[in-house]
Structure 1
């Protein structure tokens, strides 16, 4: 006889794991400032009592901490400790690091390694260039909604239109908070990146531009994206040279990196 109570319990446990993971993703996107209970609940689209209950348990497990003064929630020390023991998310990540160093050496500007994680893009590596003005728009580990930044545009350019539309719909509120343009404009930017083979994106409030190109696997899927960021005028003056350098590096990575980025990319 089928034990329905056991199945319900199992389903509830699985749902709890999913909710806890969603909250950790929200806090990861919050950065050093952390986030209050109300905002966490709103971003995760969960009821406040549910969020509070899960966060209290995560605090007990040292996966989340709460600042005594601001009452803001932050990722906890256990996550860092577990991360040290975890397998790298990128096969042959040293190849990507070497490519970033070469890109910054050639261009003189800051370069970034971006990957997709659910509905977000994550900065996994950052390399500074020798140009005196450092444009460090992202920190290692920083998350932003897909649609924000040239790296995520480059990755989205490889996705079918239906998936792009779904991601832009899910991320709309967060994209607005980042000062990104409307959905129709973002669709046009993604289509242009698809046609050109590279993405360009201006910062909403700074004279800064990023240029990015995806690294593809053997089936044309996006593994990651390499981006270079500098002053807008500096990118404009050297765009053809930058595109050529990015194309050479991304094609080399596509040939050298086996398989896919396990555990990172997932459908929205």
Structure 2
């Protein structure tokens, strides 16, 4: 089974693998062209680029969050247009500790593609390992990506029903101040979904910007969730992006089965009738 993470050294050692596809996922939530501009200025050789807003999100309605999922059909159509097929071994990277690469990692698994890893430490680790940087725009021949079984997700109705006696536990990946309802700059309302716990996604990383070892992550997550079955967890954040980082950390820790609430706080707070906590 493919590991959820791949080191820069491992990627260098297997770089000639013809089935390897590398995807640059760099992004800036406030300067939304910055990631693509950075990719054009230099990237891991052969890396394709996927934009968080255009490629890894669907259409916004004002009520479905800042980064709603595209339809599964639309996403696999995009994969085929980029030349990615089920036989490819995908590596996603960014320069933000996996903050955005984890979104692509989760979305591929969402549509049944299990052979996907995140470059641990991102572009910085690649450069530190002596990896080359290229400016050539690389493309693959278009293909067809068949739609397989879809991994279930939680929607706002399911979260609301869970508040009324369900056994699911929500974990919010936002910074503690935003979770408390303070210093909110991305969404119009501050606060969190009642009953949610807080696990800031950056706590998954060590000081070197790489993910903490599996046993450390397992111990930290167990301290948060106790003896609860990981399959009863639902990850959320502001818009369904950094929640995927927590899902990736759980996978590294060997705690499998948690789900995603893609709409997250930005969807939840769009309806003032939904309960909110501060």
Instruction: Please state which band the TM-score falls in when normalised by the shorter chain.
Output: under 0.3
TM-score normalised to the size of structure 1?
Answer: 0.25
More helix by share: 1
Greater RCO (CA < 8 Å, at least 6 residues apart): 2
Q: When the two structures are superposed, what TM-score results if normalisation uses the length of structure 2?
A: 0.25
Q: Specify the structure having the higher radius of gyration (Cα).
A: 1
